Amino acid sequence: MRSKIYPTVRQIQQDMLTRRPRRNRKSAVIRELVQETHITPHDIIYPLFIMEGNNKQTEIKSMPQVYRYTIDRALEEIAECMELGIQTFAPFPVVPDALKDKYATESYQENSLYLRTIRAIKAQFGEVCIMSDVAMDPYSSAGHDGVVENGKIINDESLEILARMAIAQAEAGADIVAPSDMMDGRVGFIRKELDEAGFQDVSIMAYTAKYASAFYGPFRDALDSAPRFGDKKTYQMNPANIREALLEAQLDFEEGADFMMVKPALPYLDVIRSLRDNFTTPIVAYNVSGEYAMVKAAAERGWIDGEKAMYESLLSIKRAGADIILTYFGKEFAQLYHRQ
Ligand code: PBG
């Protein structure tokens, strides 16, 4: 029982309830007034899967409303997204098996689907920002992000190929090259090679903390890029580790990364926060294919409200410290943003 004669400060506060946080939630206007985190279409990077052909698009089974587009269709999609305020796009190529080989040589052929895509986008929309993917796996017959020799992924030999790919993409017009392979030393090596080739102005977005995750399944379906043997654990990170993410970030920062990415996003919000607190570069979060598929699958079953779950996910990723979000929800989010 509390004493009426000698109340503690806490008891007085309880009696009077001077702090009622619910006052700041009492109306929609006040809730908006005190909202701490906002997302706009300018914060979004929108991925696009590109395939050969004309005037075609095919839906990816495990990613409802996400399509592989032929270049002409992709240009139409980009125009629609730009109307909605999205300005940065990340194309990924679907490469036929016949063009894949041990050294991913297709990745830097002048007339490859990917480089034609970059040139076509740049020719039609000069103001668009293109973030291009520097990785061997879509072009590798082994489905790995590095050169495979006797079942092992060889680091330094892979760097040469990544740098060639980055230069070819820069020549085609990429604004940001994004190495997603997790080889050691690639940011520094690519920076040096880009500079020597005269591309000082091309930025590097490092996939800094990319985990060996189960959430990439639908993406590998989309590109048919799953590893043909083994897994990616000798280069992608162990989901159990966060100090290691800080080490990767320190190296990428020192090697000259302009942006640093954490991937996946939702299961790694602590990693996003930690990089945000410890480094000065913009932090990017990749809300990956499996995160997208989970929301869509549950919404299709009527188990959750997909649109609300999407918004809450993106908001949480920003609140955790991401400045920029790469997400398949990009267009749907931008549509919602303009309806609100
Ligand atoms: C590979 C790459 C992957 C993704 C983007 N780049 C898959 C992988 O590492 O196997 C996955 C993205 C997603 O799941 O949305 N360089």
- Single-letter residue type at 161: I
Q: Which atom belonging to ligand 1 lies closest to the Cα atom of 226? A: 10
Point out the residues that are catalytic: 210, 263
Question: What's the DSSP call for residue 338?
Answer: H
Taking the C-alpha atoms of residue 237 and residue 231, their distance in angstroms, rounded to an integer, is 12
Kindly report, residue by residue over 219-253, the tens digit of the pLDDT.
988 888 889 999 999 999 999 999 999 999 999 99
pTM over 0.85: yes
Q: Is residue 327 a part of any domain in this protein?
A: yes
Ligand 1: residues with CB < 6 A are 135, 137, 145, 180, 216, 219-220, 232, 288-289
Token pair of 82 as six digits = 């730009």
pLDDT surpasses 90 at 2: no
- Single-letter residue type at 145: D
Residues spanned by the domain of 304 = 38-232+240-339
Kindly report, residue by residue over 186-216, the tens digit of the pLDDT.
999 999 999 999 999 999 999 999 999 999 9
Q: How far is the CA of 220 from the centre of ligand 1 (A)?
A: 7
pLDDT surpasses 60 at 3: no
Instruction: Give the dihedral of Cα atoms 76, 80, 85, 88; nearest 10 deg.
Output: -30
Per-residue pLDDT, 316: 98
Of 137, 228, 295, best ligand 1 pocket probe by most atoms within 8 Å of the beta carbon: 137
Q: Is residue 14 a part of any domain in this protein?
A: no
Q: Which atom belonging to ligand 1 lies closest to the Cα atom of 290? A: 14
Share of the chain above pLDDT 90, in %: 92
Q: How far is the CA of 35 from the centre of ligand 1 (A)?
A: 33
- Average per-residue pLDDT in the chain? 95
Kindly report, residue by residue over 264-300, the tens digit of the pLDDT.
999 999 999 999 999 999 999 999 999 999 999 999 9
Q: How far is the CA of 108 from the centre of ligand 1 (A)?
A: 19
Residue 204 maps to which CATH number?
3.20.20.70
Instruction: Give the dihedral of Cα atoms 247, 250, 251, 252; nearest 10 deg.
Output: 120
Q: Is residue 15 a part of any domain in this protein?
A: no
Domain count, the chain: 1
Q: Which residues contact 281 (CB under 8 A, 6 or more apart)?
A: 253, 257, 258, 259, 260
Q: Is residue 31 a part of any domain in this protein?
A: no
Q: Is residue 25 a part of any domain in this protein?
A: no
Per-residue pLDDT, 167: 98
Kindly report, residue by residue over 15-48, the tens digit of the pLDDT.
778 899 999 999 999 999 999 999 999 999 999 9
Q: Is residue 2 a part of any domain in this protein?
A: no
> Is residue 72 within 8 Å of residue 55, measured between CB atoms?
yes
